[in-house]
Structures are given as structure tokens and as C-alpha cells.
Amino acid sequence: MRAIFWQLVFVAGGWSHGLLDEQIEAVSRELAQAPRDEELLLKRAELHRAHGDYPKAKADLERVIGGGNDYAEAWFSLARLEREAGHLPASKVAILRFLELGESEPRGQREAAIIFEGLEDWKTSAKYWRDVFGNSKFLTRTAPDFEASVRVQIAAKEWAAAGVLLGEGVRKFPNAIPLIQLQGELSMTHGRWDEAHEILQRLRGRYPTLAPRLCLQEGKMWAAYRQRGRAREVWQIGLRALNQLPALRRDQPGMVALATELHHLLKK
């Protein structure tokens, strides 16, 4: 019965607040008969979280944690809830408790990596990202996960790990633009300017319709590494590419905003 109930929670296009209210009421009725049922409390906490009701979600999770049974799943849910609410120190405490309970699932390591990244503890975040990718249970490796992990490795100055993860990511997702941009950035970190230029120039050549925005992003990368001349050159290429677009597309709000930003950067 509960399995059927839980399948009904999800609706096409996301959560419906009307449906959520109904499901919260249904779980609450069950909890009235079994107030200490940890599974039901966890389910209602997840429903409250989906509803955006942080206090009620946290209250249900604390009831599970305070019940005398150190329930690992409740600690994981609390860590995620606190992170989403912007309470990073509290989320750190919760995810470390989850991991202390012997949970070696990659989702816990991944959550820890995200939390420590938010705290700007790059070394610790980088370590957890390496644990995630070294975990044999981590089977669903997405391009955004590779991107996040490599960015953190670069921030932590873990160059070797960044190179290994980036190589794996590009092999798996050869058309992922953020990963190719990171290849260029990794070359920049070592002062290999010509190598970075070639990588990013090839990227623009592969996606000519995206050239204006790619130039904006690339120029910001050059500027971040104090290569102002290269940045200006790329922004000028972006403006020329923008001006070559058909008027109908060039006049779209997004393109107008892009042109404005490029002009502003060139005036600095």
C-alpha cells in the first residue's frame, strides 16, 4: 500500500501543491495511528520539503533523529534540507554524521562535496568529489557532475586530479561545452596560453551560432587570468559574430543584453 502511495506523489512537470497537500494529509492520518513510524515521518518530511515548508520538514526529521534510533537516512535528508535552506554549517554537521554512520553511498559523498564547496573549503570538497568518482557504486556520471568536480579540483589546486577527471569527462561527453571550456581553463592555470587559445578557438568553430556567448565567457576566463589583451580580442570577435546574425535574432532581448554586456566590458 505504501509503495503505491509513494508512486502517486510524483506528477508530470514536478510537484503539484494541491496534490502535495492531499498526500501530506494522507501520511498525517497514517502517523496518527503510528506516530513513531520512521518511514512515514521521512516521507512526510520529503513532502514538506517539496512544498517549501522548511520548519515542518525539519521537525519531522528531528522526530526521527530524536527517537533514539540513529537513522542514517534522516541525517542525509536533514543535510540536504539545511543546504537548500542556506544553513551550510548545520548541513555540514548532518552530512558528517551520515558519513560517520558508515554510509559509503556516493550520494552522501556527493552531498558532502557540494556542502563543503558552498563553505569554500575547496580541499575538503575536492577530496569528497574524488571519493565520489572513485566509488564503484557511482554509476550515473553526468556531465554536470564532472564539471562541478573539476571546477573544485582547480579551485583546490589539485591539478593532477583535475586533469584525470576532466579527461574522463570529455571522453564520456565529447560535446559538453562546459567541459571543453574547462580544458582551456586548466591550460590557463599552467600559463599555457597558446594551448588554451587553440582549445577555445576550436570550440567556437564547432558552434558558430553560439560564438557570441562563447566569446563572452571565454573573455571573462582570460580576464580572470589577467590576460586582458586576449580578453578584449575575444570580446571583439563576439561582437562581430553578433552583428553578423540575422536582424530578427540579433534583436531578441537575450542578444541585445549580450551585446550590451560586451560593449560594457570593452569600455573598461
The pLDDT value given to residue 107: 92
Question: pLDDT per residue over 28-52, tens digit each?
Answer: 888 898 888 888 999 999 999 988 8
CB atoms near residue 132 (< 10 Å): 23
In whole angstroms, what separates CA 186 from the centre of its chain? 20
**254, 264, 210, 204: which is closest to 232 by C-alpha?**
264
Question: pLDDT per residue over 246-256, tens digit each?
Answer: 999 999 999 99
Sequence-ordered strand ranges (E) for the chain: none
Domain map of the chain by residue range?
Answer: 1-103
Domain at 1-103, CATH class: mainly alpha
In this predicted structure, the answer to whether residue 79 has a pLDDT above a threshold of 60 is yes
The pLDDT value given to residue 1: 36
Residue 15's SS3 state is coil
CA distance 214 to 247: 20
In this predicted structure, the answer to whether residue 104 has a pLDDT above a threshold of 80 is no
Percentage with pLDDT > 70 across the chain: 93
CA distance 2 to 245: 56
CA distance 241 to 216: 11
For 144, the grid coordinates are 554536470
Instruction: With beta carbons less than 8 A apart as the criterion, state whether 145 and 109 touch.
Output: no
In this predicted structure, the answer to whether residue 188 has a pLDDT above a threshold of 70 is yes
